[in-house]
Amino acid sequence: MRINVYVEELLSESDNDGVVAERVETTADTGATFFGARIYLRSPKEIHRGEDDDRSAITFWGPCKEVAALLRKAADEMDRVIVVPRAGPVDNPEWENGSPKLG
């Protein structure tokens, strides 16, 4: 499965009342508790009415430590693939106009 998410769909802390990501838990009928790390995406406000929270989001489900390790590894891989230093764009010669310089 491939999921395409465009930069315009990603939230910043100024969006969504500051909620960009959150930990979610649910208990199955069996009594098992499942953990998820949910990353919210931009979606039209007019589709959210009352208690029905159907905001666009991606949720990674699994044991807490495994999900955290997976997301850290994914972030490291993204840094490696697109050559983005952890320091980010501020005073970094590898960045130009808010974006990483490409090859």
Q: What are phi and psi of 65, to 5 degrees?
A: -65, -35
pLDDT more than 70, % of the chain:
67
pLDDT of residue 95: 63
Whether pTM > 0.85 for this model: the answer is no
pLDDT of residue 61: 92
Q: Return d(Cα 19, Cα 39) in angstroms, integer.
A: 9
Residue 4's CB is within 10 A of a number of other CB atoms, namely 5
Provide mean pLDDT across the span 77-89: 68
Backbone Cα Rg of the chain: 17
Beta bridge partners of 40: 57
Provide mean pLDDT across the span 70-77: 89
